[in-house]
Each structure stands twice: as structure tokens, then as C-alpha cells.
A and B are shown apart, each in its own frame.
Chain A
């Protein structure tokens, strides 16, 4: 069965520091992987997605993620965090059912 684990429930980083949010998935075949961001009181917005090709994926707002099949991971990174990046981040996996399975989310707090 598909599953997604985001090991970090809450992360705090200083503004300007680098960021890495972890995501591990379980899926029997090649997964489709997504990162979404949710600001307070808002719906989810897609940051980036991977389904084939280059394993390093660039997204919006300066985010990138790397697919590592050997580690079943799809970690999200940003070189320099801005205060406006404070939000909740969700990793999701999809496959041949077309349905997305979401992780529990990681809340990012940015210190000034």
C-alpha cells in the first residue's frame, strides 16, 4: 500500500538559513511525488512534482526536491528561507490509482 512519512512535525529555522524537509514514501512501482504548501486558512498549493526524468526537480518560490529511489525519499530544499515561507508543507505520493496519499505535514516556523 502507498504511504508517506514526514518525520518532522515541526521545524524552526532562522530567516536566511537553508531548509530541508524530509519525506519518505512507500510504493511498489515508480511513484509520482508532489510537494504542496498550505498557508494558514488557505488551500494547498503545488510547489513541485516528480514523475520521471531528472531526479532534481525545480519548483516555485525557489524550492527544489530530489528523488532518491534507493532511499525512497523526496526531500524538499531551499537555500535561503524567507519569513513568508512559514507554512505547513505536505509531501504526497500518487501512483496507478491516480489517488494522492498525503503525509501528515511539517509545520515550518521562520525566526527573524
Chain B
């Protein structure tokens, strides 16, 4: 398996623009997670899905952020409008189950908002 795939790997945009990050989880994994990593706040869970359904979005910072999972092999994280403080590395991860199951991380998308 190719592992978790994320695109783009790097994104540079201007404040106010819409940004869409994409993720393809490992086939057969029922859970998908979106994380954000910054120097100040470390690694934070934004939202996770189970069988394409959002289960917990309590980590989503504000209404400018939205995530969807239209099918088992694709998810998006959208920021509209983007702000400089959204600059971070965004990771997608997937797992077979919760609790003790290993989460497999993608390589991340480095987002820079100017």
C-alpha cells in the first residue's frame, strides 16, 4: 500500500484566499484524522471521521475551517478565508480502529499564508 497520501505537499497563498488540502487514507481504514502542527501549539487534532462521518470536530479552530469526507478514499480540509495564523503543517492520518490501533500519518502539507 502507498500509505496515506496528501496533496499538495506545499501551499503558499495570500490572506483571504480559499485553501483546500486533500487526503487519501489507507484502503480499508475506517478512521481518518486531521491534525495541525505549529511551533506554538504542537500537534493538535482538528477533526476525525469514522466511516466517512465526522465524529468529533471540537478541535476545529473556527468556522473558517471545514472538513468533508465524501467517500472512503478521499477527504478535504478547507480554509476560507485563510489568515496568516493558519500557517502550519497539516497532517492527515488513518487507522483501522480507535484506542489502541496505530494511526498512520501522511507526509503533511506545509501551508504558508502571506
Contact = CB atoms under 8 A, between A and B. Distances in A.
Interface in A35-56: 36, 41-46, 49, 51
Interface residues of A, number: 21
A32 interface: yes
Interface in B91-105: 91, 93, 98-100, 102-105
B108 A46 contact: no
A49 B100 contact: yes
Contact of A43 (B56, B100, B108): B108
Contacts, number: 46
Most buried by B among A32, A90, A99, A105: A99
B107 A99 contact: no
Interface of B: 4, 42-43, 45, 48, 56, 91, 93, 98-100, 102-108
Interface of A: 32, 36, 41-46, 49, 51, 90, 94, 96-100, 102-105
